Amino acid sequence: MQQLLEIMQRLRDPENGCPWDIEQDFSTIAPYTIEEAYEVADAIARGDMPDLKDELGDLLFQVVFHAQMAKEQGSFDFDDVHQTACEKMQRRHPHVFSDLAIHDAAHQKQVWETYKAKERKDKGQHSLMDGIPVSMAELQRAVKLQKRAAKAGFDWDSPVLVMKKFDEELAEMHAAMDSGDRGAMEDELGDLLFVATNLARKLDIDPATALRRSNAKFERRFRALEEAAGGQDAMDAMALEEMETLWQKIKRHTDGGRSA
């Protein structure tokens, strides 16, 4: 770890460091941090352990990069980051690091949320909506907002009721499309997506994972469509009805024939 910290310090050295690294700041590095986190998730999804090792190293380097920049401006350093993480994990796991008895995973989750709520209040955050990053991926942020609201009892009792709400929003989407009002269409489409993430939450399904699977399925089937058609040039000459017929055939012979 010390070697990595020293490498980062040399890269940021004003006189002998790397010009690109020197000119970066928190805002310019943040997108790379997010990208590296996605690449970690991608390696996990592919079950590629050598790549996961590599991507975790890249993500760790992002932490070191931010810590070095903070050290330069006198805010904090990597040791502070490390210590804060240790203290937080010990504080949030009193059943492991103190004598509090935890009965099961559900009880542990309740204790975890209680400590997180206390930490938010200590930061002066009093609304359940406080502390949810606006830069978070929108699907995840929607679920986070919904979970916070559910803590106050503002939630549907079952997925069936969420589906009824989805049907209601779908009707409103049709009305917005009929009106031709782009602003209304955007609002109603957003509502549809929000309700869809609520359904995922009630079913205990990660919406991003579900969408990732659908993306992969579409890509897999489209590549098969291109191959079956004889290439891109052949597809350009096909009518939509021909492509649809071929698409349905591919669906019947891939992924167990599941629709979508």
Q: Which fold has domain 2-92?
A: Helix Hairpins (1.10.287)
Q: Where are the beta strands (DSSP E) in the chain?
A: none
From CA 232, how far away is CA 186, in angstroms rounded?
33
- Does residue 142 contact residue 193 with C-beta atoms inside 8 Å? yes
- In this predicted model, what pLDDT tens digit does every residue of 95-140 receive, in sequence order? 888 887 887 777 777 777 777 778 878 888 888 898 888 878 899 8
Correct CATH for 127-205 of 1.10.10.60, 1.10.10.10, 1.10.287.1080, 3.30.300.30: 1.10.287.1080
What burial letters (b/e) apply to 31-64, b meaning 16+ CB within 10 Å? Answer: eebeebeebbeebeeeeeeeebeebeeebebbbb
Segments making up each domain of the chain, as ranges: 2-92, 127-205, 208-257
Task: Give the pLDDT confidence of 157-211 residue by residue, as tens digits.
Answer: 999 999 999 999 999 999 999 999 999 999 999 999 999 999 999 999 999 889 9
Q: Do domains 2-92 and 127-205 have the same CATH topology?
A: yes
